[in-house]
Amino acid sequence: MADDTVFDKITDIHDQTIAMLRALHIAPYPSQYKIYFDKIFIEQADEALKNAKKEDESLVQLNYGIGKYLDIAQRSVIAFVETHADISHVARMQTKYLTHGSIHQGERCADLVGGLTTLGEDMSNELKKAQAKIDELTIELEKAAAEITTDPLTQVTNRKGLIEDLEKVIDAGQSKQLPVVLMMIDADNFKSLNDTHGHVAGDKVLYFLAQSIKSIIRTGDKVYRFGGEEFAVVLNRCDYDKVFEIADNIRSKIEHKHLIYSGKTIHVTVSIGVTVHHNKDSFDDFIARADSALYRAKQDGKNKTVLID
């Protein structure tokens, strides 16, 4: 969908929202506006517009995360400069004190020892304060970085995180084949599920799938939300003769899990495409091979696992 088309449709929904609020004599506070905007959006938006909205919301979330990260980084630099300015000030004061101390040799020696002792204590205190501040800001930076690569709905790593992680794999695998496995996992009949149970239920299903996959794989392996109802899994240090067994175990366990929503049982299955890392794979090669396996699993009737080596 072209950007102009999206803009026109969203503007039209905005106009309808304002008109409805005015007709109902409801003040357009952000909370009230959102309720009626979302109601009209759900009734009128087609799939293309819904996808555009998700992309925009993801971009806003990413920009917020980056902004927060940069703010913390800036504060880290300022704190570092201020702390080291304090240490430099202590050193300058002690140097001045020692240089202009008593002219008598004995007194000067005593002054030197005392001055150096004080200098050491002052420096130690300033360094402790600096380290405490650095530790505090390091924790904040790590949290901010994690937020940038975390999908807010499913609470697993997002596509940006997958790209960053796979780029490391690709770089390391230019000269050799690595024991790394990539799975692409797609929820079967997700549109039908959304139409039957509603979009809130659809969101619950995505969270359910992400957390189910995460609970099945090993601690050192990772699950990512690749986009829409599609997830990716990267397995490290995996024996090739066990690749299909591991992937199909994920498919089977999800098939036999049940999600209860609003008193109703929602049965979900997934199709899985699997591939292994090849020497000199590019990022696109790796993803495309897993996608081809996933496409074949869908073509074979869904709720299937297909391995392309």
How do beta strands 270-276 and 305-308 pair?
parallel
At residue 182, φ and ψ (nearest 5 deg) are -120, 130
Residue 257 and residue 205: Cα distance in Å, rounded?
A: 11
Residue 266 contacts residue 259 (beta carbons within 8 Å): yes
Q: How far is CA 159 from CA 54, 66, 70, 172, 287, in A?
A: 14, 15, 21, 20, 12
Q: What angle do CA 238, 243, 244 make, to 5 degrees?
A: 170
Task: Say if CB 148 and CB 83 are below 8 A apart.
Answer: no
Please pick, among 47, 229, 245, 255, the residue that the annotation labels catalytic: 229
Angstrom distance (rounded) from CA 182 to CA 247: 10
Helix (H, G, I), strand (E, B) or coil at 188: coil
- Nearest one of 267, 179, 272, 281 to 232, comparing CA atoms: 272
- Rounded Cα gap, residues 271 and 288, in angstroms: 16
Say whether 187 sits in a helix, a strand or coil: strand
Q: Strands 264-266 and 222-227, how do they pair?
A: unpaired
Does the annotation mark 255 as catalytic? no
**Which of the 8 DSSP states describes residue 154?**
T
Residues catalogued as catalytic: 229
